[in-house]
Structure 1
Amino acid sequence: MTPDILCIGSVLWDIIGRSPAVMRVGSDVPGRITRLPGGVAMNIAMTLRRFGLVPGLITAIGRDAEGEELVAACARMGMVTDHIYRSEDLPTDRYMAVEGANGLVAAIADAHSLEAAGDKILRPLSDGRLGSAATPWAGPIALDGNLTEALLSEIAASPLFAGADLRVAPASPGKAERLRPLMAHPRATLYVNLEEAGLLCAAEFATAPAAAEGLLARGAHRVLVTDGGRPCAEGTQGAGVISDRPPEVLVTRITGAGDTFMAAHIVAEQRDASREQALAAALRAAATYVSGEIGS
């Protein structure tokens, strides 16, 4: 099966501890601990699947027991898993987070296997299975910042990505600066939060619209900047910046919200929504997700 969109990046196990209590460093409280398929690329793929698209996963997953279980879970969800790089000697990656009533308390992403696999994960885009240098993949690609800076730089200049509609998100603020090689890519749309926008620009911004203006001024082709429950912005070179405010909801979870926003925006544009309609649809989807109305 040919995927509708490729999701390149981290596909791993999310281990999330959630408590209804306000937490601080050293807190020891009752709550729930879940283990679910996650990772930026996976979270985007799951939302795309809910909207009816068939995503293809481009990632590295080990051949350990956790990896076999993860690939099987992806296949059951209706994702194309044929092009995943399966490593004999690298363990399956994991992400661990703790969330309280006051938001994300702490998180650790162990995506070392994806980083170690490097450009091996991109082989299907060059060997004819999904494209080649002569006939590159021409559809949408969701790309996440868990890849190394060297690989992201390679992708920015590669003919394998010259025909793609590139949608790019950092994996976390700590990895935001890895995206700099892709900022000036003429077919790239960057999805960042206010903190990540500031890191990319080496500046501080008070609002998402100001951050979008700043990114465009530094050469970005197109950007979307979120800021929690405050106004979000979309900016495009030559077309200016638009803004909208997310619906007010009771926040019950945080991990995966930005990925849901990005996926919903991609889907809206695939359905020919206007800039304003696509931004509003993405904000609605993210609000529904953080309220807990959609299952993980």
Structure 2
Amino acid sequence: MASNPDILCIGSVLWDVIGRSASHMRQGSDVPGRITRLPGGVALNIAMTLARFGLHPALLSAVGRDAEGDELVASCAQLGLDTTHLYRSDDLPTDRYMAVEGANGLIAAIADAHSLEAAGSKILRPLTSGPLGSTDAPYDGPVALDGNLTLRLLTEIAESPAFAAARLYVAPASPGKAERLSPFVSHTRGQLFLNLEEANLLCQARHTTSEAAAEALLNRGAARVLVTNGPNAACDGSAAGLVTGQPPEVLVTRVTGAGDTFMAAHIAAELRGEDRATALDTALQAAAHYVSGDTSL
């Protein structure tokens, strides 16, 4: 494990419990399928994909000192992730996420990230009081951040001098948490990764295209936004203008984690020096491989 990580991933690190069925489902459906438990959470999903691209991510999150937490930390280490800076709590249980997916997509999901929210700013201690940085000597590398943190903590990050030199990449974690990213819009900080529903919630509108949503967020103060729209065109918007890309057509076999894969692939592409159009295409290709069930990168 590299002593100095290439990127920090801050947010949810938990167990994903996913039930998948090849059948179309509706409310009340009871169908055969498969149930899996895998390491997950937005920050962890991003870190795992970054590691597959050859980067060395470090995790900042809250994980319980319970049996599930010990197993999760061991799994992360085996995946090549730096777990040195995790906040391990004696009182808080390891968080979990549960989702049900059918042939017609995500049916329902529940994210139990209460321990991450309860830990609050304790997970940021390596950045505010060393060894990774401090308010006097802020961390100046890339940081992937997810919206499973509380609005209060996200506001603190958007305003804190400890993050003033960091290159922030921010995702909302789910549509229900999209509005938590408003501090990054109002403070014109960070690069936001959103799907169209999340973008519309954040800009309080009903745009039908990624381009329109991206432009609206830029007008509200966002520094840079990447908006995806399922099989339709995605958009990268900044003061330099709008860049669009079309996702490849694939057979969708899973959806949970697709946005995290898109974000991680885009970060890795830009860190390699790819231009905006190429990085957007790289990320769309990676997400398409993921939802088709192909994890090769």
Normalising by structure 1, what TM-score?
0.98
* 1:242 Cα deviation from its structure 2 partner: 1.1
Q: Which residue identity lines up with residue 54 of structure 2 in the other structure?
A: G
Q: Distance in 1 between matches of 2:272 and 2:203?
A: 32
Residue aligning to 1:9: 11
* 1:184 Cα deviation from its structure 2 partner: 3.8
2:167 to 162, 165, 169: 165
**Ranges in structure 2 where 5+ consecutive residues have no aligned partner:** none
Say if 2:24 is the partner of 1:25.
no
Q: Distance in 2 between matches of 1:104 and 1:271?
A: 33
Residue aligning to 1:147: 149
Residue aligning to 2:238: 236
Q: Deviations over 1:126-180 (max 9, x none)?
A: 2221011111110000000000000001111101100000000001000000000
Residue aligning to 2:192: 190
Residue aligning to 2:259: 258
Q: Deviations over 1:215-266 (max 9, x none)?
A: 10111000000011110000002x1111111000000000000000000000
Whether contact under 8 Å (2:189, 2:222) holds in the other structure is no
**Local SS of the residue matching 1:183:** helix
**Ranges in structure 1 where 5+ consecutive residues have no aligned partner:** none
Q: Deviations over 1:5-46 (max 9, x none)?
A: 000000000000000000000000000000000000000001
Residue aligning to 1:272: 273
2:75 to 62, 66, 73: 73
Q: Distance in 2 between matches of 1:203 and 1:96?
A: 29
Whether contact under 8 Å (1:43, 1:260) holds in the other structure is yes
Alignment of 1:93-108 (within 5 A): 93-108=95-110
**Local SS of the residue matching 2:99:** strand
Q: Distance in 1 between matches of 2:192 and 2:185?
A: 7
RMSD (Å) for aligned C-alpha atoms: 0.8
Q: Distance in 1 between matches of 2:130 and 2:29?
A: 52
Report how many aligned residue pairs link the two structures: 294
Residue aligning to 1:47: 49
Whether contact under 8 Å (1:207, 1:227) holds in the other structure is yes
Whether contact under 8 Å (1:164, 1:187) holds in the other structure is no
**Local SS of the residue matching 2:15:** strand
Whether contact under 8 Å (1:144, 1:168) holds in the other structure is yes
* 1:78 Cα deviation from its structure 2 partner: 0.8
Q: Distance in 2 between matches of 1:255 and 1:87?
A: 27
Structure 1 residue runs of 4+, over 4 Å off? none
Say if 2:294 is the partner of 1:293.
yes
Q: Deviations over 1:178-197 (max 9, x none)?
A: 00001144440000010011
Q: Distance in 1 between matches of 2:130 and 2:9?
A: 18
Whether contact under 8 Å (2:188, 2:221) holds in the other structure is no
Q: Distance in 1 between matches of 2:123 and 2:47?
A: 17
* 1:112 Cα deviation from its structure 2 partner: 0.2
Q: Which residue identity lines up with residue 157 of structure 2 in the other structure?
A: I
**Local SS of the residue matching 2:192:** strand
**Local SS of the residue matching 1:121:** helix
Q: Which residue identity lines up with residue 252 of structure 1 in the other structure?
A: T
Residue aligning to 2:282: 281
Normalising by structure 2, what TM-score?
0.98
Whether contact under 8 Å (1:184, 1:221) holds in the other structure is no
